[in-house]
Amino acid sequence: MKRLPMMVLAAAIALGARISLAAEAAVVEGVLMPAWVERDAKRVPLAPGMELKGGDELRTGAGARVYVKLSEGSLVQLGENASLRLQDLAPQRGGLFKATMNVLEGAFRFTTDVLKKERHREVNITIRTVTAGIRGTDLWGKSTEERQIVCLIEGRIEVGAQGEAAVTMDQPLQFYQRVRGQTLPVGKVADAQLAEWSKETAIETGRGAARRGGRWTITLASVETQDAALAVYDAVREAGYAATILPVKVGEKTLYHVRIAQLPSKADAETLAGHLRGKYGIADPKVSG
């Protein structure tokens, strides 16, 4: 197969990650990789700053986390081994934001910015057969084959399974659950349990996550040929890590740097570099800030 010139390839990669802050309905805020977006029958790694649209399906691997910022100010968090389909994302005229999301698998959290709680929004989240209608609130939930949970953190929601009357939850720490197809009475969760659940969707500092605006970079490989660079690049991206290629002229030669950028701290960069060392053709990754 004929290779594109590397400058053209690098420009195309950078363009794919570029965003328009004035227009996006949702954008990736942070990623603890591996994680992907499936769109138009293609799967590419998630990277901070990537725009998302209705129809996208987000997937995370073992140990992964994803933060998605909605244009009306809310934050959607996704835990490991999870799948979230963005059925519809539609900022409407008159300031109304509408979204429909389907949690196919795994843990999630929906959190509204304190300063933006009064913004008009209609967000519906489906957890398999259970739907929660949100009107400016915070909640945590999880979807597995046998159990679906929706826990109210703050605000008010209506939640119910298909074919059943919805119930209203308006007290903090109330939670709805459905086990093996049976809806159980609404209960109240202990603070300690909510804290444990929240860890399943939180990105912890220093764990190797990339974040929008991060200034640290890992150079996974510096090689002299396109083929060598693309071998590492393809393997890393297939595994769910958002690598890019940067060609750099050194004297009469060109070196091709395969990199992962936007790490927010040296600790995060070193953690991810250590995780990738010895994999996907990566021998000695270098951290720079």
Task: Count Cβ neighbours within 10 Å for each residue of 76-95 and write b for 16 or more, e otherwise.
Answer: bbbbbebbbbbbebebeeee
The mean pLDDT value of the chain amounts to 89
Distance CA 46, CA 240 (A): 7
Distance CA 31, CA 14 (A): 17
CATH number at residue 82: 2.60.120.1440
Distance CA 115, CA 131 (A): 26
Domain that holds residue 259: 210-288
Q: Is residue 17 part of a domain?
A: no
At 224 the pLDDT is 94
Residues 115 and 232 in one domain: no
CATH number at residue 269: 3.30.70.1070
Token pair 């100010």 is found at 73
Q: Model-level pTM?
A: 0.89
At 112 the pLDDT is 85
**Strand pairing of 187-188 and 244-250?**
unpaired
At 2 the pLDDT is 41
Q: Is residue 240 part of a domain?
A: yes
| End residue of a domain, out of 173, 199, 225 | 199
Written as six digits, the tokens of 144 are 């597995």
Q: Provide the pLDDT confidence category of residue 14 given band limits of 50, 70 and 90.
A: very low
Nearby residues of 206 by Cβ (< 8 Å), 6 or more positions away: 265, 267, 268, 271
177-186 average pLDDT score: 96
pLDDT in tens, 88-129: 887 766 667 788 999 999 999 999 865 455 556 788 899 999
Upper half-sphere CA count for residue 62 (Cβ side, 13 Å): 2
When divided into structural domains, the chain yields a total of 2
Q: Which residue has the higher pLDDT, 127 or 3?
A: 127
At 119 the pLDDT is 58
- What percentage of the chain exceeds 70 in pLDDT? 87
| End residue of a domain, out of 164, 199, 234 | 199
Distance CA 228, CA 254 (A): 13
3 has pLDDT over 70: no
201 has pLDDT over 90: yes
Q: Mean pLDDT lowest for which of 7-11, 62-66, 108-112, 133-137?
A: 7-11
Q: Which residue has the higher pLDDT, 224 or 4?
A: 224
Residues 187 and 76 in one domain: yes
Written as six digits, the tokens of 207 are 């764990």
Q: Is residue 16 part of a domain?
A: no
Q: Which residue has the higher pLDDT, 176 or 23?
A: 176
187-200 average pLDDT score: 97
20-40 average pLDDT score: 84
pLDDT in tens, 36-70: 999 999 999 999 999 999 999 999 999 999 999 99
Distance CA 285, CA 218 (A): 6
At 12 the pLDDT is 38
Query: Helix/strand/coil (H, E, C) string of the chain?
Result: CCCCCHHHHHHHHHHHHCCCCCCCCEEEEEEECCEEEEECCEEEECCCCCEECCCCEEEECCCCEEEEEECCCEEEEECCCCEEEEEEEEECHHHCEEEEEEEEEEEEEEEECHHHCCCCEEEEEEECCEEEEECCCEEEEEECCCEEEEEEEECCEEEEECCCCCEEECCCCEEEEEECCEECCCEECCHHHHHHHHHCCCCCCCCCCEECCCCEEEEEEEECCHHHHHHHHHHHHHCCCCCEEEEEEECCEEEEEEEEEEECCHHHHHHHHHHHCCCCCCCCCEEEC
At 123 the pLDDT is 86
Upper half-sphere CA count for residue 233 (Cβ side, 13 Å): 20
